[in-house]
Chains A and B, each alone.
Chain A
Amino acid sequence: MPQDREIAIEVQNAVKHYGTFTALKTISLSIRDNEFFTLLGPSGCGKTTLLRMIAGFEDVTEGAIYLYGDEIDRLPPHKRPVNTVFQNYALFPHMTVLENVGFGLEMLGKSKAEARARAGEVLEMVRLSQFAARKPSQLSGGQQQRVALARALAPRPKVLLLDEPLSALDLKLRKAMQVELKHLQRETGITFIFVTHDQAEALTMSDRIAVMSEGELQQLGEAREIYERPRNVFVADFIGDTNLMEVTVDKVEGSRAQCHLGGGHKLTCDSVDGIGPGAKVHMSLRPERLFLSADPVEAESLSGTVRETIYIGTDIATVVELEDGPQFTIRSSNSTRGNARVFEAGTPVAVNMEMGAARLLVD
Chain B
Amino acid sequence: MAKPYDLRRYPGFFGITILCLVILYAPLAVVAVYSFNASPSITIWEGFSLRWYVDVFTGPESAKFKEAAWNSFIIAIAAATTATVIATLAATAVLRTGKFRLRTLSVGLISLPLMVPEIVTAVATLIFFNAIAFERGLMTILFAHITFCIPFAYMPISARMQGIEASYEQAAMDLYATKRQAFMRILMPLMMPGIVSGFILAFIISLDDFIITNFVKGAGVETLPTAIFGAVKQGIKPNIMAISTLLLAVSILMVAFSWLIGRRNQVEGR
Contact = CB atoms under 8 A, between A and B. Distances in A.
Interface of A: 55-57, 76-78, 82-84, 86, 88, 90-94, 103-104, 107-108, 135-137, 151-152, 155
A55 B171 contact: no
Contacts of B173: 56, 76-78
B165 to A, nearest CB: 7
Contact of B167 (A88, A94, A104, A136): A88
B190 A104 contact: no
A108 B165 contact: no
A205 B111 CA distance: 52
Nearest to A57: B170
B177 interface: yes
Interface residues of B, number: 20
Contacts of B175: 78, 83, 103-104, 107, 151-152, 155
A94 B170 contact: no
Contact of A94 (B171, B178, B189): B189
Interface in B163-191: 165, 167-168, 170-178, 181, 185-186, 189-190
Given A88-B165, A92-B172, A94-B189, 14 more contacts: A55-B174, A56-B174, A78-B175, A78-B177, A83-B175, A90-B168, A90-B171, A92-B171, A103-B177, A103-B185, A104-B175, A108-B176, A135-B269, A136-B269
Contacts of A92: 168, 171-172, 186, 190
Given A135-B269, A137-B270, A84 B190 contact: no
B268 interface: yes
A54 B65 CA distance: 64
A108 B174 CA distance: 11
Contact of B269 (A78, A88, A94, A107): A94
B179 to A, nearest CB: 8
Nearest to A137: B269
A91 B270 CA distance: 11
A88 B176 CA distance: 19
B266 to A, nearest CB: 10
A107 B178 CA distance: 8
A155 B270 CA distance: 26
Given A78-B177, A107-B175, A155-B175, A93 B270 contact: yes
Contact of B181 (A55, A76, A107, A136): A107
A260 B223 CA distance: 96
A84 B174 contact: yes
A274 B270 CA distance: 57
10 contacts: A56-B173, A77-B174, A83-B175, A84-B171, A86-B167, A90-B165, A92-B190, A103-B175, A107-B176, A151-B171
Given A57-B170, A88-B167, A90-B171, A137 B268 contact: yes
Q: Which of A57, A86, A92 has the most CB of B within 10 A?
A: A92
Contacts of B165: 88, 90
Contacts of B189: 94
Nearest to B164: A93
Contacts of A88: 165, 167
A76 B170 CA distance: 11
B87 to A, nearest CB: 21
B187 to A, nearest CB: 10
B170 to A, nearest CB: 6
Contacts of B190: 92-94
B172 A103 contact: yes
